[in-house]
């Protein structure tokens, strides 16, 4: 091998190395440029793992006693919900039969019977007053006929039903 040949080889080899180094730098710069343009993406697996870490370490299982206590608490909450009479029915006839007829059908406690002349003077007061008196109670009639779970709307509907019965 001649010295000339060696020199040529070293020169070419060096040029190749320099070329490769430059190429590497270019690739790195390009990668950085692209990376900076990308939105930083949320890793859903990492988010799930984070939420998982925030979970309480353990639930308390209090056995049958605990279950019974939970059921009792739920029942108490349900009972505390305001209950509307007759499942909230807006059927005037149904409400009248079940809550008003006991007095108004027989004249109990001096309740006006369901005949026109018993109501003549009362009707003059107007629907609003009749309903208000039925809600608040009047004379021997207790508020809402004694059914405090009747809504204002239900009282109004049953009064309207009673007045309809008169003619």
List residues near ligand HEC by CB under 6 A.
99-100, 102-104, 108-112, 122, 125, 129-130, 133-134, 138-142, 144-146, 150, 155, 158-159, 162
Q: Which of 101, 96, 72 is nearest to 85 (CA)?
A: 96
Shortest distance in whole angstroms from residue 152 CB to ligand HEC: 11
- Shortest CB 92 distance to ligand HEC, Å: 9
Q: Which residue's CB is nearer to ligand HEC, number 89 or number 102?
A: 102
Residues in the chain: 167
Bridge partners (DSSP) of residue 141 are 138
Which CB, 66 or 107, lies closer to ligand HEC?
A: 107
* Maximum separation of any 2 CA atoms in the chain, in Å: 141
CA nearest neighbour of 137 among 113, 111, 102: 111
For 59, residues 6+ apart whose C-beta sits below 8 A from its C-beta are none
Residue whose Cβ sits closest to ligand HEC? 139
C-alpha–C-alpha distance, residues 4 and 120, integer Å:
136
**Nearer of residues 76 and 138 to ligand HEC, judged by Cβ:** 138
Least CB distance to ligand HEC at residue 99 (A): 4
Nearer to ligand HEC, 84 or 108 (CB): 108
Contacts of 118 (CB under 8 A, 6+ apart): 112
Least distance CB 79 / ligand HEC (angstroms): 23
């Amino acid at each position: 091998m001649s010295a000339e040949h060696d020199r040529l080889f070293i020169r070419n080899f060096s040029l190749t190395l320099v070329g490769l180094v430059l190429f590497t730098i270019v690739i790195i710069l390009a990668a950085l440029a692209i990376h900076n343009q990308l939105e930083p993406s949320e890793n859903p697996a990492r988010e799930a793992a984070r939420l998982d870490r925030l979970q309480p370490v353990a639930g308390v299982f209090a056995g049958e006693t605990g279950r019974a206590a939970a059921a009792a608490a739920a029942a108490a909450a349900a009972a505390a919900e305001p209950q509307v009479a007759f499942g909230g029915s807006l059927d005037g006839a149904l409400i009248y039969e079940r809550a008003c007829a006991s007095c108004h059908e027989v004249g109990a406690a001096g309740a006006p019977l369901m005949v026109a002349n018993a109501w003549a003077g009362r009707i003059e007061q107007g629907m609003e007053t009749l309903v208000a008196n039925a809600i608040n109670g009047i004379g021997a009639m207790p508020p809402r006929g004694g059914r405090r779970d009747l809504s204002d709307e239900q009282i109004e509907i049953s009064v309207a039903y009673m007045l309809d019965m008169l003619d």
